[in-house]
Structure formats: C-alpha cells, structure tokens
Amino acid sequence: AGVLEVALRGFSISWSSRSGVLMQNVALSRTADQSSSHPDGPARNAVDGNRDPNFAKGSCSLTHQESNPWWRVDLQNVYTVTAVMITNRNEFENRLDGAEIWIGNSLEDNGAKKSRCLTQTSILHPPLGQGKGRYVTVFLPGTKKILTLCEVEVFPSDYADGNHVPNLALRGKAFQSSTASGSSSASKAIDGRRDSTYYKGFCTHTLEETNPWWRLDLRETHAVTSVKVTNRGDCCAQRLDGAEIRIGNSAENNGNDNPKCASISHIGAGKTVTFYCEGGSVMGRFVNVIIPGPKKILTLCEVEVYAVDPLANVAPNGQATQSSLYANNVHAVNVINGDMTGLCSHTANQSSPWWKLDLLAVHRVRAVTIFNRPDCCPERLIGAEILIGNSPCGTISSVEGTLTHTFHCGDMEGRYVVVILPGQKRILSLCEVEVYASLAGMLLPLFVHNIKKDLII
C-alpha cells in the first residue's frame, strides 16, 4: 500500500491507499523512550492519543539539543507496518526536517539500524512499503539537533487486511460485583485464555447475589461491533442464561444502565459464542455482562471485545452556534469544550430552537453523542432531532434513566451537525455534543487541529 504524506504547517499526515479501511493505531499508550528528555517533554507524550501540536499544552515529546537524537516506541508485538503518522509541533517546524523512520526488531544503535521506512520532508514522500518489526524509531541525524514529536501513530497491515482484528479486552481493566475467591477475579475473563475449566484458575466467579455483574473498562470510547463470551465448561452452564451485554460511556450504576448490545439466551458448556450488537455497533468505553435477578452467580471464562477503530471526536475542531442566547455564560461553544461538568448551552424560550456545529469540511459521521443537562429539566430534550446536513440521524424520544444519548449515523456525509427542537415555546440546553467522524475522502480517520492552516502539496 502506498502512503502519501502531506504537511500542514505544524502537522505531518500520512494515510494508506487501502480504500475504505479503518486501521488500528498500535502505538497508542505503548512504552516509549528517547535519547534524552526535556522535563516537559517525556517520550510517552507522543503516544498519549493527543495530537495537539502546541508544546505548551504538555502533549509533545522533546529531547535536548544533541547529536543524532532519537525517539522509539515498543509495539510489544511484531507488526508489518503499512503507515506511520507523525504530528509535528506548530512552531519550529523545520526542526523535524530530515528525520527518518526506522522499523525492526533490534535495539542496536537504539533501533536506528533497521529497515528504513521513509525520510521526513516537508511535502511529499514515496510509498512506505512493508516494514516489519516490534520497534518504530524516529531518528534525526546530525549535530545540534532537537527532536520534538506531538504524536506518533503506527498502522499495521494486519488490521488493514481485515485479519487478526484486535481483541480490545486484553488492553482493558476488569471489575465485578463480588469475587468468590482469589483465583476467580474479574481479570481472569481477559487473560487471553478460553480454558473453560473453572478449577484451573482461568474463569471469574461472583458470590451468589442479586444482579451480579462484570465490567470491562476499555480506557477509551470504541464503536463495539461484537462481543465473544466463553462459558464455563465443567458445570453450571445454565447460570449464564438470561445475561445481558451492555455497552456505553456511563459509569452510573457500575455501567449496568448503559444501552444493551445483546442478550445471552444460552451458551453451551465450554462454548464460545459471538454476540453482535443490535444496530451494527454500540459506542462505549464500558462493556458489562449482568445477570438480572436474585440468587444469581456470574462466571465468565473469557470475554473478547471487537470494534472498528475508534474515530476521533471532531466536535472540538469545529465552530458552534445556536438560535438564541439565554444568558451571557451559556454559549453554544460550551457544548464542544470537552468539559461535561461545566457550563452548558441554553437558548431562549422560542419556536424550534437549534444548535449547529460547523465541522469546517465535509465529514463521514459515524455517531453523535448528546449529553443532557444533569441538574434539572431533562425532559426538555424530548423530541430533539439530530441532523447531518439536511439528513436525519436520530430523535431523542425518551430521557428516562440516562443523560447520554448516542445515535449511529451510518457514515452519513455532511459538514454541519444540527440539533433542533421542533415546536412552540421550547428551550434547548445541551451540556456536550461529541461527533465521531472522519474527513470525507480520507482513507483513515485522521483529524487535524486548526485545519484552517494552508495545505502545502
């Protein structure tokens, strides 16, 4: 697959030529190291998932001035790498000129003697090819050099080919309502083993209780498409009958009030069954398995979670407006600042109030999440319609039991996301809107802070 790399002052973007494939960034949160570290620029900042190019915001790596500085990430597995994306600092951009990307399995010379992937320039790069290795190194040859990276993302062909789809559960953290013994902790369900014999120590086990549950924290929001569950094989297979799989972003009631992905009618002893989420996918950070009812015991021998690559929330990159303003501190922009505990938006009492987000370019919108007001009046949002361009994505028909509403838009294309509340004497108040989308025409879900910068080709 070829890789095209373009510079947006302060940014370096690459994407694969594999049409329509969403790919997994395997560098995210992996162990990173560098030749030297400025106190405010540790190596880990370049794999924190934050592409902010402003060094002062604390999300970029930075070495001291030295000869041949380098930065390296340990992917913890060997991958055939199809694409590498680097986000540059938005000042002193030319410091990165001449940097090289190396991929391999050796730590000799700190990883800078491997298969060279490409040399960084300011405009266009030749195809990346197929570099294979565990370590990805960014190397800046020369004297009196400073290496700064605001994000490094690595995309392997394993995912692009549709094979070896990652089991996200292995990267998460598990909890449960109670634990029968030390050998049956919640983590046993995400140890990568489908061994269904409980007494071998690879399965979870709660006490007998009302509504026992098991919860997995994926650490970030994903569009979950399916969940695989392995039942106990040595006895008691019927205990899992009637269990529910719930997925969402809310931690209220230990995550058990999140939307339902699927119901488990029965899994045979020792069998592994795949459950596909209703509606194609469910957006969420938490995956719960709960058995409703009294005197229940929950045992899981393995839980696997599969998802399409998590798209970025592009709402903070846009511009928000609304039909009217109730007071000076309840502006439309409050809804895209990432703070769900702060101020919300609020229109005046009017006919068909609306809130609009300009994404500044046409996007393919996968999902929209709306956070309702927590302090009062949640019913005001009933009947609100979500539009992508002029096309309806969803309607809030009920607010009972949740402050969060996620709508799956099926990659609808549009530049504007609108929330409108039809009717007379209505008030529209929103506390946060998240839009998970990719730029239309891009082959990977890449998002650029300050997209207004001139494109250099």
Residue 425 lies in a domain: yes
Q: Are 7 and 154 part of one and the same domain? A: yes
> What is the rounded distance in angstroms from the CA atom of residue 364 to the CA atom of residue 111?
38
Q: Are 337 and 419 part of one and the same domain? A: yes
Count each helix (H run) and each strand (E run) in the chain, helices first.
1, 24
**pLDDT tens digits along 416-440:** 999 999 999 999 999 999 998 888 7
Residue 455 neighbours by CB distance under 10 Å: 12
Q: Are 176 and 251 part of one and the same domain? A: yes
- 139 Cα distance to chain centroid: 28
Q: Are 57 and 198 part of one and the same domain? A: no
Q: Are 124 and 248 part of one and the same domain? A: no
Q: Are 201 and 237 part of one and the same domain? A: yes
β-sheet bridge partners, residue 413: 364
Q: Is the pTM of this model over 0.85?
A: no
Could you give the percent of the chain with pLDDT greater than 90?
Answer: 45
Among 38-52, 313-327, 333-347, 350-364, the least confident range: 333-347
Residue 236 lies in a domain: yes
- Residue 246: which CATH number? 2.60.120.260
Report the length, in residues, of the chain.
457
Q: What is the pLDDT of residue 355?
A: 96
Q: Are 298 and 320 part of one and the same domain? A: no
Q: Are 248 and 342 part of one and the same domain? A: no
- 275 Cα distance to chain centroid: 21
Q: Are 145 and 8 part of one and the same domain? A: yes
Residue 283 · residue 404 · CB < 8 Å: no
Residue 240 lies in a domain: yes
Return left, alpha or beta for 150; rule: phi > 0 is left, psi -120 to 50 is alpha, else beta. alpha
Q: Are 211 and 262 part of one and the same domain? A: yes
Residues near 35 by Cβ (< 8 Å), separated by ≥ 6?
63, 66, 68, 69, 70, 71, 110, 147
Residue 450 lies in a domain: no
Q: What is the pLDDT of residue 60?
A: 94
Residue 303 lies in a domain: yes
* 140-168 mean pLDDT: 73
Give the torsion sign (CA, 378, 382, 388, 393). Answer: positive
Structure tokens at 40: 């405010």
Structure tokens at 425: 């004497």
Q: Are 200 and 284 part of one and the same domain? A: yes
Residue finishing a domain among 160, 188, 217: 160
Q: For 231-353, where are the E strands, in sequence order?
A: 243-248, 260-264, 272-276, 282-290, 302-308, 319-322
Residue finishing a domain among 280, 308, 336: 308
Residue 81 · residue 168 · CB < 8 Å: no
Residue 453 lies in a domain: no
Among 120-129, 211-220, 228-237, 272-281, the least confident range: 120-129
Q: What is the pLDDT of residue 328?
A: 85
Residue 335 · residue 248 · CB < 8 Å: no
* More confidently predicted of 411 and 228: 228
β-sheet bridge partners, residue 404: 371
> What is the rounded distance in angstroms from the CA atom of residue 205 to the CA atom of residue 179?
6
> What is the rounded distance in angstroms from the CA atom of residue 143 to the CA atom of residue 69?
9
Is the pLDDT confidence value at 346 over 50? yes
Residues near 449 by Cβ (< 8 Å), separated by ≥ 6?
11, 51, 52, 53, 317
* 30-55 mean pLDDT: 91
Domain of 145, in residue numbers = 3-160
Residue 144 lies in a domain: yes
Residue 3 · residue 16 · CB < 8 Å: yes
Distances (CA, A) of 235 to 200, 209, 239, 269: 13, 19, 9, 7
β-pair type (302-308, 213-230)? antiparallel
Q: What's the domain count of the chain?
A: 3
Q: What share of the chain is helix, strand, coil (3-state, %, to 5)?
A: 10, 40, 50
Residue 259 lies in a domain: yes
Is the pLDDT confidence value at 261 over 90? no
Q: Are 393 and 247 part of one and the same domain? A: no
